[in-house]
Amino acid sequence: MKIHYVPCLEDNYSYLIIDESTKEAAVVDPVEPEKVVGVAQQHGVLLKLVLTTHHHWDHAGGNEKLKQLVPGIKVYGGSKDNVKGCTDSVENGDKISLGADVNILSLHTPCHTKGHVSYYVTSKEGEDPAVFTGDTLFVAGCGKFFEGTAEQMHQSLCVTLASLPKPTRVYCGHEYTVKNLQFALTVEPDNARIQQKLSWAQQQRQAGLPTIPSTIEEELETNPFMRVDLPDIQKKVGCHSAVEAIREIRRLKDNWRG
C-alpha cells in the first residue's frame, strides 16, 4: 500500500491510496479532480473509488466532476451525510476492498457533520495502518462542532479513533498543524512533546513540506482534544469531566487569536 498526499485549494489535502499489486487506487476527498487524475496518471494507477469524509464542498465538491472524468468510479460517503455524487453510502463498520491487498473500514465519527466518516485502511503487507480523518481529527486539533455535540466529538476522538492501534498513521483534511500546536501550548505550556512537535512542524512548513502523517500515539501525547480524559487537563480548563473539558477547549480555540 502506498499513500500520496495531493495538496488542494489553500490548505486542503486529498490522498491517493494505491494497492501496489493491482495498481488500483482510491482517492480521499478529491476536491480538485483534474489534479487528482493527473497524479493518478503520473503513478500509473487506475482510480476505482472515492472515499468522501463529509459533505462540505472543500471535501465533496469534486465528486461529480471526477465521475465525469472517470466513468464508473464508485463514490462512498456516510449514510447520514448528504454527500454530493455519492453512489454507495456507508454505515459505521462497513468494509470496502481495494485491489488485492487493501481493506478499508468505515468509522462513523460525527460532530463536525452528522454523518462524518473516517476511513481506517490496512493492507496484507503488514505495514502500519492508516486512518483518513477528514475534519474530525486534525494533527493536534479537531474540527468545529458544526452539526454535533461535545459528547459526539468526545466519542469520535477519545473512543473511536483513540482505540485504533497506536502506530496508525493519521492523514487529516487540512494543514492546520502549526496553529493547532501553538494553541495546544496555551492549554499545556509545560508539555515537552508539544514544544518539540511545534518546532518540527514549523521547520517542515518553512521547507514547504507537509506535517502529515501524524500517528494516534502522537495525538494522544500532543492533542488537547484527545487528552481530555486526563484529570490534569480537566483541572487546567476548570472542568470536572472529559465532555465538559472538550466543550471548553473547543470554545477557547474558537475564540483564540493566535
* Catalytic machinery residues: 54, 56, 58-59, 112, 135, 174
Residue type, 212: I
Task: DSSP letter for 111, please.
Answer: S
Distance of CA 105 to the CA centre of its chain: 14
Contact, 40 vs 196, CB < 8 A? no
Contact, 146 vs 190, CB < 8 A? no
Q: Determine the Cα–Cα distance for residues 219 and 241; give it in Å rounded to an integer.
A: 20
Q: Determine the Cα–Cα distance for residues 213 and 148; give it in Å rounded to an integer.
A: 26
Bridge partners, 2 (sequence order): 18
Q: Determine the Cα–Cα distance for residues 184 and 146; give it in Å rounded to an integer.
A: 21
